[in-house]
Chain A
Amino acid sequence: MGDFKLRPVFLFSLIILVILFDMPAFAHKVSIFAWVEGDTVYTQSKFSKGKRVKNSSVIVFDSDGNKLLEGKTDDKGEFSFKIAKQTALKVVLKASMGHMAEWKIPFEEINPEAVSNNSKPESDIKDSYETSSRSQTINSGTDLSVLSESHGISKQEIKKLIDESLDRKLSPIMNMLTDSYGGGPGLTEIIGGIGYIFGLVGVAMYFYKPQKKKSQ
């Protein structure tokens, strides 16, 4: 069985070939990553392992599947838009040559206040300092906005300030997340896949039913 001597050599040369090319950027998988900062949605699109997807269309859908807007990614693969409709969004990236990726933004990310304060009437949150002081004269004056008013700053303003500083503090972390998202396959997957194929070869040989040999 001299055949067996050469097979590892052939496989080994293939693996060497892969390593020689060093795989700086894997192609043929695109990914899009979207996040919310304030009232703007930022998206970043890339091919697996980093190469940015330039000049490709990004389409935004609402939760019912209606198209809201469409745009093109810039040279860094980025595209951002203002939130026009308070709904869960689906961002779809269409790159050339039959590549597509999508990212869903849940409603909680678009408008966290609306979700956490569902039980309260809308006016409580939206009221600013002046309007709430006016409403105090009309209302009996027992709700939260009036309590915060006594400290000279409305609840909404505090929220806005915290949101702003959080966005600022979290932006490096967001950058890290966008960088780590959509990385290419690692060595584990590659070796694992080759292992699967060899396993399948074993299974195929085990279950092979001998057929009548064709006369060549």
Chain B
Amino acid sequence: MHISEGILSPAILTGGAALTAIGVGIGLKKIDYEEIPNIGILTSGFFVASLIHIPIGPASVHLVLNGMLGLILGWKAFPAILVGLALQALLFQFGGITTLGINTLNMALPAVICYYLFGWGIKKSSGRLIFIITAFASGCCAVLFAGILVGFSLYLNGDAFLPAAKLLVAAHLPVMLIEGVLTATCALFLRKVRPEFLESYYG
């Protein structure tokens, strides 16, 4: 999911950075004082998730966890993912500083989309089955959308869209399933043990 430095043209990089800046701005505005530690914990979760390597499938891929961040944080996933990616670029050399904008966009936008698509299911009032299905779908689809967006970024750069996107999605199929299960498990865990973690965001 991390696009390396030197692949994309400056126009795409600036475009991605500008859109990311807007997203981060919206996210920062929505942050309340009490939420800051929660966001920090989810950011560190996102930061280490990329180290969890999944050896199944055609390529070597890792967890992304953007679905979980999106589901719990909504727009606030933008600043969280930006910080996580910046540290991954600096400490692990995943991606890079110049591609930070486009990479954040590619991972955070699906998170926000999933928040709007599936966030309604993560409520105290919703049934257990609905809850599990929406959480699973969120974890799953966030990775799927991110793969499509990365494919689209490469397409803008001149690669053929369908082969690139197909390869990305195919490589991330196991990740999608694992993230779906993981997101559902974590959401269930939070609902049981600390409902206010979810409640504060969905009222």
Binding site for B on A (CB under 8 A): 3, 6-7, 10-11, 14-15, 17-18, 21, 23-30, 47-49, 51, 94, 96-102, 184-185, 189-190, 192-194, 196-198, 200-201, 204-205, 208, 210, 213, 216
- A-side binding surface: helix, strand, loop or mixed? mixed
Instruction: For the complex, give the distance between the alpha carbons of A98 and B3 in Å.
Output: 5
Instruction: For the complex, give the distance between the alpha carbons of A25 and B1 in Å.
Output: 16
Binary contact readout B1-13 vs A (1 if CB under 8 angstroms, 0 otherwise):
1111111100000
Instruction: For the complex, give the distance between the alpha carbons of A27 and B2 in Å.
Output: 10
Q: When the two chains form the complex, which single residue of A18, A24, A98, A204 contacts B48, counting CB atoms closer than 8 Å?
A: A18
Whether the Cβ atoms of B53 and A24 lie closer than 8 Å is yes
Q: How far is the CB of B123 from chain A (nearest CB, A)?
A: 13
A residues within 8 A CB of B92?
26, 29, 48, 184-185, 189, 193
Instruction: For the complex, give the distance between the alpha carbons of A192 and B51 in Å.
Output: 14
22 inter-chain pairs at a CB distance below 8 angstroms, sorted by A residue, are A3-B196, A7-B37, A11-B41, A14-B48, A18-B52, A25-B53, A25-B55, A26-B92, A29-B93, A97-B150, A97-B168, A98-B8, A99-B3, A100-B6, A185-B51, A189-B92, A193-B44, A193-B48, A194-B47, A198-B40, A198-B44, A201-B37
Q: How far is the CB of A32 from chain B (nearest CB, A)?
A: 11
**What class of interface size applies to chain B in its complex with A?**
35 or more
**Who on chain B is nearest to A8 by CB?**
B41
Q: Which of B36, B51, B83 has the most CB of A within 10 A?
A: B51
Instruction: For the complex, give the distance between the alpha carbons of A10 and B150 in Å.
Output: 30
Whether the Cβ atoms of A190 and B48 lie closer than 8 Å is yes
Whether the Cβ atoms of A30 and B4 lie closer than 8 Å is yes
B residues within 8 A CB of A17?
52
Instruction: For the complex, give the distance between the alpha carbons of A58 and B74 in Å.
Output: 41
